[in-house]
């Protein structure tokens, strides 16, 4: 079906030709819409999306093409693709959606047959470094607490991945997880308190979480 360019707010009602006021529609819907706004026609979410700032998209686009130009300057073979091409390649190969699979089928050079010999993949998720808010407030906005300048306690930092070997008590055994440190001698680990003397660092907090996941080929 042929798609046409349509104005969210018709030009007859003061709408402009700016990209934030444009969308696509099939001819029958375009004709039925007439001089209604997208919200009046039953698509208020499009109006909301058109008002969303584009600063993030503009920054990503600028950085993307800057990286592309620098790669070209190396003299190495460089290929640029699109999200549509990646999706088409993935569907052509019959692959399920996954970020690591998309990385393998980017661009026009993707072959007609592609066999993946991957048993598991490393998943990396951004977790951040916690809140940067130095002053906590109550529901009325009045300050009620302040963060301490000291970040580390007993050599540990909130977000560190640790192994806890607890010799006895309710939580006896080996536990692995990320901790929340406190100025008092007990830290929070997986919903319970543990003394730092039972902890050993596996990975220092770096703002990311790592996990391995089995994948079918």
Alpha-carbon Rg for the chain in angstroms: 26
- Mean pLDDT of the 104-111 span: 89
Confidence of residue 150 (pLDDT cuts 50, 70, 90): low
Calpha distance 202→155 (Å, rounded)? 13
Calpha distance 79→69 (Å, rounded)? 11
| Residue 24 pLDDT exceeds 60 | yes
The candidate with the shortest Cα–Cα distance to 113, out of 87, 95, 96, is 95
pLDDT digits (tens, 9 = 90+) for 79-96: 888 889 999 999 999 998
pLDDT value at residue 130? 66
Structure tokens at 141: 């906005």
Do residues 119 and 213 touch, judged by C-beta distance below 8 A? Answer: no
- Mean pLDDT of the 33-56 span: 86
Domains of the chain: 3-50 (no CATH), 66-116 (no CATH), 135-212 (2.30.30)
pLDDT over 90 percentage in the chain? 23
Average pLDDT for the chain: 86
Confidence of residue 182 (pLDDT cuts 50, 70, 90): confident
Which range (98-102, 120-124, 149-153, 183-187) has the least confidence? 149-153
- The secondary element (H helix, E strand) that includes residue 124 is strand 120-126
């Amino acid at each position: 079906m042929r798609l046409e360019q349509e104005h969210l707010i018709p030009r007859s009602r003061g709408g402009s030709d700016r990209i934030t006021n444009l969308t696509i529609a099939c001819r029958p819907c375009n004709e039925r819409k007439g001089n209604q706004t997208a919200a009046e026609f039953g698509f208020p979410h499009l109006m909301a999306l058109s008002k969303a700032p584009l600063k993030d998209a503009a920054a990503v686009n600028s950085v993307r093409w800057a990286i592309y130009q620098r790669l070209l300057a190396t003299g190495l073979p460089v290929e640029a693709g699109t999200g549509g091409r990646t999706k088409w390649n993935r569907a052509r190969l019959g692959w399920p959606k996954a970020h690591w699979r998309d990385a393998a089928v980017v661009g026009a050079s993707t072959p007609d047959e592609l066999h993946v010999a991957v048993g598991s993949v490393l998943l990396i998720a951004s977790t951040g470094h916690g809140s940067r808010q130095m002053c906590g407030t109550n529901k009325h906005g009045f300050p009620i607490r302040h963060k301490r300048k000291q970040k580390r306690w007993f050599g540990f930092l909130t977000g560190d991945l640790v192994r806890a070997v607890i010799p006895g008590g309710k939580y006896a055994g080996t536990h692995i997880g990320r901790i929340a440190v406190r100025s008092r001698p007990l830290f929070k680990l997986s919903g319970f308190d543990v003394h730092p003397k039972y902890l050993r660092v596996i990975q220092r907090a770096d703002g990311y979480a790592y996990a391995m996941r089995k994948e079918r080929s």
